[in-house]
Amino acid sequence: MGLVNLSHVLLKAKERGYAVGAFNFVNMEMLQGILDAAVETHSPVIIQTTEGAIEYAGIDYLASMARMAAEKANIEVVIHLDHGKSLDTVMLALEHGYTSVMIDASDKPYKENLSLTKEAVDRAHKFNASVEAELGRLKGIEDNVNVDDAGSTLVDPEQAKEFVKATGVDALAPAIGTSHGAFKFKGTPRLDMKRLELVASLTGIPLVLHGASSVPKGSIEKANKYGANIKGAAGVPDDIIKQAIKQGICKVNTDTDLRLAFTASVREELAKHPEEFDLRKILGPTRQAVKAIVLNRIGVFGSGNRG
Ligand SMILES: [Zn+2]
């Protein structure tokens, strides 16, 4: 109960065949919505921040809110750094009580990714924290960087096997065809499940699915109804997520869905109550909107009553 590291929740998930949701937050309302849903369903939960979120809110604010939330909750909570790009950020997170870090050097040559990941593992394990790394490169908007078709590659399973052995990393995010952001597929959604299965059997460690938001139609319709202009958005359907979990995915990241639900809620409040300027009335309902998304995700991942 309370604060645990990533391996603690993912090894159980791997053994029992479900996935634990990792949800990004940038402010108090998002964090409360995520925790409310996890506590209500007795689900373990991973709360995570990107470098962009840390830059926006300050790590002191994010880490102290997250630690307090974890201590208060009667479920297992992991505080994770999402897409840490440097050892400096990794150390900053570890020193602020994060129990898990991602070192993402997937944009660097393989050898550099390997040595940076190994160094992150050595440092994080001294804090009893876990490390996630990435192989191959996802398309789309990652924090503030846009990766196009030419810049993206799928994971090489044999290389993944060697990488995991050489680095001792705890979890691996293999690029298998998802992308970051709200515009994931132009045609039929498709992930490389064969590749995923091969990576799972060759590495033997818990795998992570990035770019996994479902981009719910309801959020898009609500946002557009109240003034947004979001066209052609498409996410990963629930049945594909469930299949990926069967093939070895133990951690599923969700960021876009929360952003869409949050902003759609703000737009609705402002449009329905143009006279309102009480922040509590405008931002308060976002907690429910975020919570509803997380409840749905926990149902898809099968992590309820496992906390
Ligand atoms: Zn990601």
277 Cα to the center of ligand 1, angstroms: 35
pTM of the predicted structure, to 2 decimals? 0.96
274 Cα to the center of ligand 1, angstroms: 36
Percent of the chain surpassing pLDDT 70 = 100
* pLDDT value for 112: 97
2 Cα to the center of ligand 1, angstroms: 25
23 Cα to the center of ligand 1, angstroms: 11
What's the rounded Cα separation, in Å, for the pair 119 and 97? 19
Please, which pLDDT band fits residue 189 given cuts at 50, 70 and 90?
A: confident
Beta bridge partners of 50: 82
Sheet holding 139-142, edge to edge: 145-147, 139-142, 179-180
Decide: 302 and 18 in contact? Cβ < 8 Å: yes
Please, which pLDDT band fits residue 249 given cuts at 50, 70 and 90?
A: very high
Which DSSP string corresponds to 267-306?
A: HHHHHH-TT---HHHHHHHHHHHHHHHHHHHHHHHT-TT-
Decide: 10 and 206 in contact? Cβ < 8 Å: yes
* Listed residue (202, 294, 302, 296) closest to 243, CA to CA: 302
What's the rounded Cα separation, in Å, for the pair 68 and 45? 14
Dig out the tokens for 132 from the structure. 């996630």
In the chain, the DSSP E strands lie at 2-3, 20-24, 45-50, 76-84, 100-103, 130-135, 139-142, 145-147, 171-174, 179-180, 207-209, 249-254
* Listed residue (76, 192, 211, 193) closest to 130, CA to CA: 76
CB-based contacts of 92, cutoff 8 Å, min separation 6:
54, 59
134 Cα to the center of ligand 1, angstroms: 9
Q: pLDDT tens digit string along 140-177?
A: 877 777 887 777 889 999 999 999 999 999 999 999 99
Q: If you average pLDDT over residues 289-300, what whole number do you get?
A: 98
Decide: 171 and 251 in contact? Cβ < 8 Å: yes
Residue 82: active-site member: yes
71 Cα to the center of ligand 1, angstroms: 26
Distances (CA, A) of 182 to 140, 142, 178, 283: 9, 11, 11, 22
- What is the average pLDDT value for the chain, to the nearest integer? 95
CATH code for the domain defined by 2-301: 3.20.20.70
Q: pLDDT tens digit string along 168-178?
A: 999 999 999 99
* pLDDT value for 191: 92
Q: If you average pLDDT over residues 81-96, what whole number do you get?
A: 98
* pLDDT value for 187: 79
85 Cα to the center of ligand 1, angstroms: 12
Name the least confident of 111-120, 214-223, 245-254: 214-223
Q: If you average pLDDT over residues 285-296, what whole number do you get?
A: 98
* pLDDT value for 76: 98
180 Cα to the center of ligand 1, angstroms: 6
Single out the catalytic residue among 36, 60, 82, 107. 82
210 Cα to the center of ligand 1, angstroms: 4
Q: For residue 134, is pLDDT > 80? A: yes
Unique residue bearing structure tokens 């040595």 = 115
Residues with CB under 5 A from ligand 1 (ion): 210
